[in-house]
Amino acid sequence: MEYFQSPLPRYGDGFCSDWECPCNETRIPVGEGYLYISRECCAFRWDCRTTDEVHTKAERLSRESGATIIGPGIAVPILVCEVGARKRGLDLEFAARDAKHWWATQQVPFRPTPRVGEPEVAFTSQAATSQTSDPFVLEVRALPPSGRPSSQAARLNKPLVHLLVLKEGIAPPLSDLKELFESLETDVRADSPTMVSLTTGNTWPETPVDFALASLARDRPEYVSKEYDVRTDELRHKDGTRMVIVKVFANRPKIVNPTAPAQQNTLAIEVPHNIFGTKTIVFTQDYVTDGKRKIFYRDATKIYYYALRVTTNFIFISHSYDFKVGSADQEIDVSMSSEFNIGNAKRKEIWQKLVGIASQVIQPRVVENLLRRIFVNGEAVRIQDLELTREGYSRGKLFGGREQVLWTDAKFAPKFHVGNVIIWGDKHSKTDEYFHKIPMDTPNAVVVPELMKACVNAASRGYIPPA
């Protein structure tokens, strides 16, 4: 195994530094935690294995381009807590072992962190050279032609979760695109995937499949993993214009064994309830239930999860863990607490499981439902005092009125920081002060970064709701 150098924290313990983790920058003691090594990090470090070589490369890039912005987790790996590691789907054994080795040696394995169920794979020179210049874009290999007629896109015995259509010419009316999506195949109507449309104007890319796949990897990197099966087709629309269809299937059977559906497609988590009782939260392929209420993922409109610890004179007094998912007319909630660390480890593990599953199967649906309200229904969606519309986002002013930032002027993606979601102002701002912050205990605060990124894309490229 090859390694590259990465410096340790200057002042002993580390903190969870994953922007996608909802924790309050959890303190990670020396020798503990989990290390997330991305493919982009391996690609960037291919020709700079030591810290000094990284600085030299960054200076060179700065001279060549005038400015260099290196995304998180590109030059060095990311130290994460267990919540963040589970949310990313990392193999906890590999990630913990990598972290322990790094704490002891300042050396990081030169290969991406395996996901759950994936083997450990070395990073090759071919993979390094195939990376694009954009540090946020993953390399995706296009699939070979399938030999199907030009009017038919890929169909598999797997759930279709996402559809991207790259179409030649200017953006057509919304009704035309909706008709296009629904006419592609029956699985588009049956599975209700999320949908995205891209147009190219008067210039058709020289390699349109690669262009479409790069867009998918940039905007939805979670789909570039062994958990999903990505298929592409180059087709012709009925008006003669060229198209590329990218279908993302979940890597699981669509038609299950009818004699044992529960064993194959459900996950039951027993949680403490009341003082001495318990209740069971069951996640199925289509819905979540607590025995009394059932919420289909497609109907989810809000999600909330938050952990809080209370200390006095550096002594832990209590921990609390909250989780909630809701639709328009019902909610399923879990609230757990422990005093003086009694039973805390078990409650923390239960909460992390709930968060890990919900962030994968429910959170994307909440985002899509909110996007539909904003860009199809023309509603103004409120998350605390943050208001999102087709034009942009705004906050209330001290003496009345609202201050707005257009989607075209969005400065940076929101991030999680010390129990809050931080939202930035427009790109014309002369300061780095944040525009607004939302406490993590606010319903739908956890979806704000993903939702606002999707709004920027929808405002610039157009948004087509799921069928």
> Rounded to an integer, what distance in angstroms lies between the CA atom of residue 263 and that of residue 282?
12
Q: Which fold, 261-361?
A: PH-domain like (2.30.29)
Identify the band that residue 10 occupies on the pLDDT scale cut at 50, 70 and 90: low
What was the pLDDT predicted at 242? 82
Summarised one tens digit per residue, pLDDT across range 38-94 is 888 888 888 889 988 887 877 776 565 443 445 557 788 999 999 889 988 899 999
CATH of 366-461, one of 3.40.50, 2.60.40, 2.30.29, 1.10.3470: 2.30.29
Give the contacts of 107 (CB within 8 A, at least 6 positions apart).
Answer: 3, 4, 5, 6, 101
What was the pLDDT predicted at 75? 81
What was the pLDDT predicted at 261? 44
What was the pLDDT predicted at 466? 62
For the ranges 165-174, 192-201, 365-374, 448-457, which has the lowest average pLDDT? Answer: 165-174
Fold matches, 261-361 and 366-461? yes
Across the range 179-208, mean pLDDT stands at 66
With 90 as the cut, is the pLDDT of residue 278 above it? no
What is this structure's pTM? 0.50
With 50 as the cut, is the pLDDT of residue 173 above it? no
Domain ranges of the chain: 3-130, 160-250, 261-361, 366-461
Summarised one tens digit per residue, pLDDT across range 133-164 is 333 222 222 223 333 333 345 555 677 888 88
